[in-house]
Chains A and B, each alone.
Chain A
Amino acid sequence: MARNSRLTDLPMRGAKDKKISLADRWKSYIVHHRITLRSAFKKLLMEPVQTLLTVTVIAIALALPSAMFLMLKNVEQLGSGVEASAQLSVFIKKGATSQQIKQVQKQILDLPEVWSVDYISADQALQEFKALSGFGQALTYLDDNPLPAVFLVQPIRLGASGSNQVEQLVTTITSFSAVDEVLVDMLWVQRLSVMTDISQKLVLAMGVSLIIGVLLVIGNTIRLGIHSRKEEIVVVKLIGATDAYVRRPFLYSGFLLGLLGGFIASILLVGSLLWIGQSVSVLAALYQSKFDLTGLGFSGVLGLCALGSVIGLCGAWMAVMQHLRAIEPK
């Protein structure tokens, strides 16, 4: 019964070299990361069809809201350009003396919101009308110049409350003597801004739901991977692997899927923007505008790739944690 008690005071071979230095741990940690990344990449290449399908779904789901977002940004830019050039046309009463006109000009120029004032006399207006309208001959039959003199007022670039300030400016100028009427076509600018506001919210809602979709797609793909490595996970857990160790390969897979998805989404966007951009330039030229389509840009590409990888990481994380919780000791 004295079973081997003679051996109990032997030095513990196991205890002697248990210590692993921090530097060694770090080195082995880095090596494991490298190995895991490489094998995650290999696993993706080993199932090219599955990978391609997943990545394409992710790419489309990322490209769609991004494309709409870009479109909105361009429309907004167009709108802001118009808003900045919102000109007021100040019509002078018929029969106003040149003195009165000069006084009005001075009054308008003294307003702090006004950037510049151009004067078009009634004669100039008539000349211009003759030249541009094509009714030149008909106009010669008129005894009297029917057109009033006009001040074209350019307000300074206005901030967010621009339309309010413009309205105020209109009332101020209308109150001046010798001013007949002030015209400003702000309504469509306001409508445009409300419409972009609504579209922005729509794009946001669509973006969020598509991002959730990507999250689920990646989670599902990772879940398949977990399922095929179920035994391996149990074994490494029993040998003392931490949750982080078990998670690592799946996080890398999710990350790579998301990154590839983001990258392909960028390619899709850049390609279609180039394609559409040509037609837009032609259209802009027809409107005598130098409007250029705002593209994704380098930061946009980076942003899409980053967004894809983050979603990939999150999807993989959720899938692995769900599995790890399920195999927890009770």
Chain B
Amino acid sequence: MICFDNVSKRYSTGLEALKRISFELSVGEMAFLTGPSGAGKSTLLKLLMLMERPSSGALLINGKNLMRLPRSAIPNYRRQVGVVFQNHQLLSDRTVFENVALPLQISGYPPSETGRRVRAALDGVGLLDKESHYPLTLSGGQQQRVGIARAVVHKPKILLADEPTGNLDPVLSAEIMALFRRFQDVGVTVLIATHDLSLIHNLDHRIIHLADGMLISDGGSASGA
């Protein structure tokens, strides 16, 4: 599903954020991306969201090279990827329902179907009763869950999350992680960037460890990154 082949990214400032990264993620796999801040986690996710283009190497999604994707094809590609942002990036002037409906509206779903799907997604994150609230009236954990509902409402094949438990307490973090596992269970490929090692320590998942733009280790959590 996701294949990094010798991918490097050098910013115009000269900073080399990623150095010859190679790894593969198969369909329905869930992996954590860890490493200290500045290790290149965010850059790696940005490459997957096509917010940045690799400087060299090949980045294949479903066998297609993202490097060769023309500008006009970017929107369509992004519709197949769900993204959970660190600061959830909800639009504060719209209700929870409208926020979650946004990807459907953008992809051109008929309005009749939108309501059903949005409620299914909100039900999935346990916030069905909050659909007419505004994001700022919700707690941090609830906002993050709205962000997750928005990321999965259009049933993407790939789910990316950037520090999804960033400023949440351990109980809420565990809840969010459980949510991600449920998506993985239905075949979504999930990649989660986090520096919260205690959170993933006792989860049996693949961990891709980055440091200084290089891939240090790639394996199970038992090895203890």
Interface residues of A (CB under 8 A from B): 1, 3-5, 7-8, 10-15, 17-18, 20, 24-25, 27-29, 31-32, 231-232, 234-242, 245, 328-330
Contacts and interface: CB of A to CB of B under 8 A. Distances in A.
A12 B78 contact: no
A271 B3 CA distance: 69
A3 B30 contact: yes
Given A20-B107, A24-B109, A3 B89 contact: no
Most chain A Cβ neighbours within 10 Å, of B75, B185, B205: B75
Given A7-B184, A24-B110, A32 B105 contact: yes
B106 A236 contact: yes
B219 interface: yes
A281 B17 CA distance: 79
Given A1-B219, A24-B108, A28-B111, 7 more contacts: A1-B220, A3-B29, A31-B111, A231-B91, A238-B78, A245-B75, A329-B74
Given A8-B187, A245-B106, A329-B50, A3 B205 contact: yes
B30 A13 contact: no
Given A20-B107, A245-B106, A4 B29 contact: yes
A235 B89 contact: yes
B53 interface: yes
Contacts of B81: 240
A5 B31 CA distance: 13
A8 B108 contact: no
A33 to B, nearest CB: 12
B108 A3 contact: no
Contacts of B71: 328
24 contacts: A1-B219, A3-B29, A3-B30, A3-B220, A5-B26, A7-B185, A7-B187, A8-B29, A10-B28, A12-B27, A13-B186, A13-B188, A24-B113, A27-B110, A31-B111, A32-B105, A234-B89, A239-B78, A239-B106, A241-B75, A241-B106, A242-B106, A329-B51, A330-B52
A239 to B, nearest CB: 5
Q: Top 9 closest A-B pairs, CB basis?
A: A240-B79, A240-B78, A14-B155, A24-B110, A25-B108, A8-B28, A242-B75, A13-B186, A12-B187
Contacts of A3: 29-31, 204-206, 220
Contacts of B49: 238
A4 B30 contact: yes
B202 interface: no
Contacts of B185: 4, 7, 10
B214 interface: no
B155 A10 contact: no
B157 interface: yes
B156 interface: yes
Contacts of B156: 14
